[in-house]
Amino acid sequence: MHTGQYYDAQMSTVFFDELGMPKSDTFWGVGSCSHAEQTARIMVSFEKLCLEQNPTLIVVAGDVNSTLACALVAAKRHIPVAHVESGLRSFDRSMPEEINRIVTDHLSSILFTTEPSGNVNFLKEGISPSQIHFVENTMIDSLMAHLDKALAGKPWQRFHLEPDSYGLVTLHRPANVDDLPTLTEIGLALQKVSADLPLLFPVHPRTRDRLKQALPDWSSMKIVEPLGYLDFLALMAKARLVLTDSGGIQEETTILGVPCVTIRPNTERPITIESGTNRLAGVTKEGIVEAARDAFSQTSLNAVSPALWVGRAAGRIVDVVEKELRAS
């Protein structure tokens, strides 16, 4: 099922096309609206589907509003929930994703974690060890399955860039792009970094309208439209440095061994810091510039690949689900 929370062609359709995903059985097109309205719309549609299909188990993934909405409906209908990518905590409840993660986890009976911190967090929160399954990360499955195809496209050539000689930027979190003083600070930092390293900045639709409000001139960077999964993956793999506020990109750069600067004061993915690929820069100009220069000045990362991150998470998840269904 496709809730339609993400509906733009470059943020939705391209993933179905490039990853060979089957067409969804349902599409609700909830679109862009407030968190409350978006969650409510999904809940209404999903409850109808549950009444029609009477599922034995609901599998939800990640930490978006769709995740929370479906978990809430399932729990109220007494349908077991399995949460993929569970247990992550930034300990910052100003982040909508953190609220979604916490509530979904505590409504779920099967919890699939991606890194050891998730298991630790659950035990501290009183979750039974029998519910917790450390399975790895499904995003790594996708990355490893598609990396060769992505690299074969050589998208850096379209932007007149050379491998290992450019930085890649993403920004999308409301705390960064909706707060103009913060976005201005980040923009000034990126301008400074771009003097040392060319920056390619695929702009998220919700970010584009805010850029010129924060700073009149972004010409020191290559500002481009959102990219498809394969193009972005290849550009990330060949980047000298990635600057981002995305959680998933922190993980992908870790498995690729690419230095990452996270433009946030915290991360729910501490394994990326421990592995040596990721740096928390905060959101000040000085912090971002310092972290970026430190990262791209290193000749070697000495990174340690996280345990189990070998691209087999999906198979482990299926094994657990089948075992749980047989036992129920």
Q: Cβ-count burial of 36 within 10 angstroms (0-12 exposed, 13-18 middle, 19+ buried)? A: exposed
Pairwise CA distance, residues 228 & 205, whole Å? 14
* 8 Å CB contact between 284 and 181: no
In sequence order, what DSSP letters do the residues of 50-108 get, joined into one string? HHHH--S-EEEESSSHHHHHHHHHHHHTT--EEEEEE----S-TTSHHHHHHHHHHHH-
> Rounded to 5 degrees, what are φ and ψ at 113?
-100, 155
* 8 Å CB contact between 261 and 243: yes
Pairwise CA distance, residues 115 & 254, whole Å? 13
Helices 35-53 and 65-76 pack at an angle, to 10 degrees, of 50
Active site annotation includes 172:
yes
Given 146, 160, 172, 204, the catalytic residue = 172
> Which residues are designated catalytic?
172
